[in-house]
Amino acid sequence: MSWDNITDKFSSVGEGVGRFAKRLFGSENEREIKRLTPVIAEINELESWATGLDREQVRAEVEVMRQSVRDGKATLDDVLTKMFALTREASQRTLGMRHYDVQLVGGFVLHQGKIAEMMTGEGKTLMATLALALNALSDRPCYLVTVNDYLARRDAEWMKPIYEYLGLTVGSIQSDLDPSSRKPVYACDIVYATNNELGFDYLRDNMKTSLGGQVQKDLYFAIVDEVDSILIDEARTPLIISGPAEDHVGRYKEADTVARALVAEEHYEVKEKERMASLTEEGIVKAQELLGVESFYVPGFEDWPHYIENALRAHSLYELDKEYVVEESEDPHTGMMRPEVVIVDEFTGRKMAGRRWSDGLHQAVEVKEGLEPKQETQTLATITFQNYFRMFDKLAGMTGTALTEAGEFHKIYELDVVSVPTNRPIARDDKIDTVYRTLPEKWNAICDEIERVHGTGQPVLVGTASVDNSEHLSKLLKDRGVPHEVLNAKNHEREAHIVAMAGTKGAITVSTNMAGRGTDIKLGGNFEYMLSNALEEAGLVEGDLEKLDEIAAVRERVEKESEAAEAEVLALGGLYVLGTERHEARRIDNQLRGRTGRQGNVGETRFFLSLQDPLMRIFYRDWVVNAMERLGMSEGQPIESGMVTRQVARAQKKVEDRNFEIRKNLLEYDEVMDHQRTEIYAARQAVLEGENLRDRILIMMTNLVDRTAGIFEGDAEGFIDWCQKTFDVEISPAAAATAVSPDRPSVDSVMETITARYDERREEWGEKLTERIESYLVLTAIDQKWKDHLHAMDALKAGIGLRGYAQEDPKIAYKKEATELFAANLLPAIESDVSSKILRIEVGQPEGERPADRSGEAAPGGDQLAPRGIGQGAGRPPQGGQPGADGQPEPKKIRFDELTFDQQKQFIHQLDANQRLTLMAQMPKELRDPLIEAFEPAAVEQHREFASGLDGNQQLSLLAQMPPAIRGDLMEHLGSEGAVKRQDFVKTLEVEQQLNVLAQVPEELRASLLPGVEIEKLQAFLKGLDLDKQLTILVQIPADLREAMTPGLDEEIVAKIPEAIQQFEAYKVQMAQQQEAQKQQQQQQMRGPAASSAFDVMKRQKMIEEQRRRAEEAARQQAAGESSTVEANEAQASGTQASGTQASETQASGTQASGTQASGTQASGTRTPGSGPAPESRPSSPRPAATARRPAAATNAVGELGPEFKNAARNEPCPCGSGKKFKKCHGR
């Protein structure tokens, strides 16, 4: 008897004993439900009282209870029965739905901070309103956490009338909300949001530099919908906010080339269970040969195995339309549409836009799909769901499948699970699994079954495990002519419609897990969906308190239609759910089954499996093969065997146990990080909340001085120099000697001097400026050093597993070394950074206003702290490292885009209107647009006042430079009066200048100028030019201006305009292509002579083979008795030739490209057909030119230069066209 059989028998005995004890004593869950009976009875007694209140009286009662809780006169438990009764009455009046008694039980369980397990379809969404409305009386935010944006938005809008009837506010957080829009949502009494958005907002809040930018103020009460999915399934993946790291994009491409050349089993092995791929010894040797690397285990090449194994994982374990999809998305930097790899959630089947695999895996998948890999990232902030949700004062949850994981909920979250009874008995028929031998047999049987059921009119929901499987089944059904709908991550936009109609007669819906958890499929069609359509047709809005009677009439009509359609589907047997394979967790299968048989309705479920399904193949490969032989299965023959069902359940249990170990391991590793994160974030928050930092900074300086004094033990002179450099303070020799004394050292005297200087500076700055300087320095130090610490922690975690080979527990080693990193590295680094800057920082005090310089480093007006060297003092300070006025080196400047968003926002709001607008005009779009959205109303008003005070010329210049959003606001504010000013200015210009101005300003600004311009004069000016010049101007001016001028021109000119425009556009494309080619050639040269556009592996390999061949030839010559000196010289010459050949080719091609571009620029006055020289008033406009390539450096067979170089003078331009002097190019 096998060990598995023995454990099965013991398990069955234990289950039998448990069932006997349950019958004898009753379960703890049943006793808990019975204890709630008096509370439910009291709520029902209050129903008549609640019914007698009108809307205003209901709100008054709620306000009275809220005030009593606020004043401490009553607790939430004291007002629970009344609030539950009022909430049920509000639901009945606004949505026509009355809470059942079992939903009251569930609401009470949620209020107690427990998990309510309710069967699917029992109304968990409505049940949650009871606990949320009650806890909102505490004036602290209450959160309803869902698994995706769709459910957050749907549930918030659906339940909104209930809350508003009670006088409570509600909102939903969506992933596309910008920071400024999130704050008012978080200010609501009740907030619906996804777990990801809440977690990321928490991390973002702890990266903000001001309290005003934070959105999550209080983590009080949260109800987690589908709690097993969020707190168990998704808990394996930590939330990470990352920033750019070192760029090794080229290595991903080269690693992908190597991975494609390797052979499975021979060069690498794939472990599907662990989702890993590793090189074998033969694979390492082969990869080294392909890369031209002597060994991966010498400095500079040790990272290659990591890149190659990531590429192998991408090719072997990550499949398109299963783990990810490729779709077009907008590039945030360029605004262009480009293909992108989007991860698909394995549990929900939904796309997770913005999420990326870490550790270089995402880049490997991008290269596999032929996309340009994005830059690598570095962790800036991270937290796990376990630690995030454990921060809430009270946490509750609800799901249909929680009891199987009750132990984990209690151990990690201290949450008890209470199973709430159903309102009606379950009538669903769960058929036994049908198992086939191979996948094709299973798919054929599934199609046969769908056709059979569809013939009866019974609606069918088919659940698949991946996007790929859903599309495969859809293709099979299309081939058979079976009408159906497909719901997966690729067409999620139609989700609401597909789900709403999935329960109608004859409907067939093929879906991934998107139609599983949280999806309510109503028989006969979704009532709310039908009601919404009916109300829209009638011109009504649900929840409109002024038209409740009209809404009620429409609802009554739709209810009758819905009931008739539901009765028809029930007569056919209800919804038929067909599963195409078992998922890793039994809970997901149960969620799929739960889509039918809701609220006591009839329904039917069945799973079709094959012995080649991934779950069986990965975990029971040998057993599957033996089972096929023992059962003697023939093609197309199904089996319904308890043995197979038990093996499937056992495989799922193995997966669940393995995933639990992963979650447990993740939590244990993260406990260390959680303590550190809590300490750092608490210190950071104290700074934001205005803590007096003087004492804290003095402690930092004392610690730094104390540590450094130990380093300079016995070296008083060196310690004095260090104090001078670090604090800009002169320390007396006696104090220094005492500090570095080997016997009884003391830094008290040193700190007295430093403290006195510190207090002097604080007095010079004043109270407000001191607060800003201190908070800025402390926050900057914490953020920068915390980021470095996270990088070090990532590196520690990546290599800690190797400690196992030294018989050391990796987990214990990680905790020990992580604690040492925090105490010995991070905290001293923060102290050193703040202490070394606080007495040396300079504060700018410019004399008068100074406009921002055009380098992107804006200059503030008035006294202020200059963040990281930006805008320090009047005039342009020396660059970093150069001496300033006092002879001391100035702090090194950094670019504006290196500041955090909050630092940027804080900085620009310190500027006056002129400076701010100038900076906006110079800033890149990706930096500028978020800042414009974050403008405070006062800043916008300053812009308007500034623009109003300008004359027509100044207004025109300002508006032409402004981004569209600012330009539109200013033009609207200036109105017709401003337009007249600008028109009057244009009238004062010469006709040629008028044309130049009109051609260069934006279209909306040009439209405001044209009414004041005499078009006839512009046309007369054009007619005075020859034909070519007229065409040149017409093809280069904007289309709207050209259309305004065309009517008065000669027909001959008008006829030639389209052809000239076409030639001009072709010229622009040609120039763009040449510039791109030149750029690629220059990049290729910069990467070195052995590289191509993607570090061409094969060329490098050929080069090594050529070197090896020449070395062998030299060895043969030596063996023949030749002189060793001659042989060495030949070997050196051959090596030089081999390594230099490719470089010469690269240089020549790069030179040629440069010559092409140069000739194009110089020939800008050359006329092409239909064109002529540009008018002098538009010298910046490029002319279409017939560019001719200059010849590359021509050499003969012996490497001599061609004849065109013979007479070239040393100081003249080189004939190759490179633009360099001959003596510095081919004259060498």
pLDDT score at 56 = 92
- Give the CATH number, domain containing residue 468: 3.40.50.300
1156 shares its domain with 1207: no
pLDDT digits (tens, 9 = 90+) for 6-63: 544 545 455 454 444 445 444 677 888 888 889 999 999 999 999 999 999 999 999 9
716 shares its domain with 760: yes
370 shares its domain with 339: yes
3-state class percentages of the chain: helix first, strand second, coil last, to nearest 5: 60, 10, 30
Give the three-class secondary structure for 429: strand
Query: Inter-axis angle of helices 991-1000 and 1015-1023, to 10 degrees?
Result: 110
1106 shares its domain with 1146: yes
Confidence of residue 127 (pLDDT cuts 50, 70, 90): very high
Check if the beta carbon of residue 575 is closer than 8 Å to that of residue 569: yes
63 shares its domain with 148: yes
**Which residues in 804-924 belong to E strands, given as ranges?**
843-844, 864-865
Rounded Cα–Cα distance for residues 193 and 185 (Å): 10
464 shares its domain with 595: yes
pLDDT digits (tens, 9 = 90+) for 510-521: 988 766 665 778
**885 inside domain:** no
Confidence of residue 625 (pLDDT cuts 50, 70, 90): low
Confidence of residue 335 (pLDDT cuts 50, 70, 90): low
Give the DSSP per-residue string, 105-149.
Answer: HHHHHHHTT-EEE--TTS-HHHHHHHHHHHHGGGSS-EEEEESSH
pLDDT score at 333 = 53
Q: What is the mean pLDDT of residues 66-71?
A: 92
Confidence of residue 755 (pLDDT cuts 50, 70, 90): very high
pLDDT score at 1052 = 76
How many Cβ atoms from other residues are within 10 Å of residue 171's Cβ? Answer: 21
Determine the distance from the C-alpha atom of residue 385 to the mean position of all C-alpha atoms in its chain, rounded to a whole number: 17
Confidence of residue 1148 (pLDDT cuts 50, 70, 90): very low
Rounded Cα–Cα distance for residues 289 and 84 (Å): 73
pLDDT score at 1208 = 65
pLDDT digits (tens, 9 = 90+) for 457-476: 999 999 888 888 888 999 99
pLDDT digits (tens, 9 = 90+) for 572-598: 999 999 999 888 777 778 878 888 887
1195 shares its domain with 1184: no
**668 inside domain:** no
413 shares its domain with 432: no
pLDDT digits (tens, 9 = 90+) for 418-444: 888 887 777 788 888 888 888 898 999
SS3 of 862-878:
CCEECHHHCCCCCCCCC
**107 inside domain:** yes
Residue numbers in the known binding site are 103, 121-125, 520
**659 inside domain:** no
Average pLDDT over all residues of the chain: 77
Q: Which of 841, 859, 885 is the last residue of a domain?
A: 841
pLDDT score at 642 = 67
Rounded Cα–Cα distance for residues 434 and 436 (Å): 7
Q: Identify the top-confidence range among 485-489, 494-498, 502-506, 639-643.
A: 502-506
Query: Inter-axis angle of helices 964-987 and 937-948, to 10 degrees?
Result: 10
pLDDT score at 394 = 94
Give the three-class secondary structure for 288: helix
How many Cβ atoms from other residues are within 10 Å of residue 846's Cβ? Answer: 17
Range of the domain at 265: 246-375
Give the three-class secondary structure for 173: coil
Name the one residue in this structure whose structure tokens are 């630690």: 387
**888 inside domain:** no
Closest CA to 350 of 186, 175, 118, 232: 175
pLDDT score at 492 = 66
359 shares its domain with 406: no
224 shares its domain with 260: no
Query: Number of structural domains, the chain?
Result: 7
Q: What is the mean pLDDT of residues 907-915?
A: 81
1079-1086 contacts at long range (C-beta below 8 A, 24 or more positions apart): 1081/1146, 1081/1149, 1081/1150, 1081/1153, 1081/1154, 1082/1150, 1082/1153, 1084/1146, 1084/1150, 1085/1146, 1085/1147, 1085/1150
Closest CA to 710 of 762, 750, 653: 750
Strand partners for 381: 241
734 shares its domain with 781: yes
Query: Inter-axis angle of helices 101-111 and 37-45, to 10 degrees?
Result: 120
Check if the beta carbon of residue 972 is closer than 8 Å to that of residue 962: no
Strand partners for 241: 381
- Give the CATH number, domain containing residue 256: 3.90.1440.10
**982 inside domain:** yes
Strand partners for 190: 142, 170
Name the one residue in this structure whose structure tokens are 């006329």: 1167
Rounded Cα–Cα distance for residues 1013 and 983 (Å): 7
Residue 882 has pLDDT above 80, yes or no: no
How many Cβ atoms from other residues are within 10 Å of residue 287's Cβ? Answer: 24
Residue numbers in the known binding site for ATP are 103, 121-125, 520
1174 shares its domain with 1202: no
Residue 87 has pLDDT above 80, yes or no: yes
Q: Which residues of 1137-1148 are buried (b: 16+ CB within 10 A; e: fewer)?
A: ebeeebeeebbb
pLDDT score at 348 = 64
- 1044 or 367, higher pLDDT: 367
Name the one residue in this structure whose structure tokens are 């006997």: 20
pLDDT score at 1080 = 59
Q: What is the mean pLDDT of residues 721-734?
A: 88
pLDDT score at 864 = 39
Sign, Cα dihedral of 554, 555, 558, 563: negative
**942 inside domain:** yes
Q: What is the mean pLDDT of residues 104-132?
A: 90
**171 inside domain:** yes
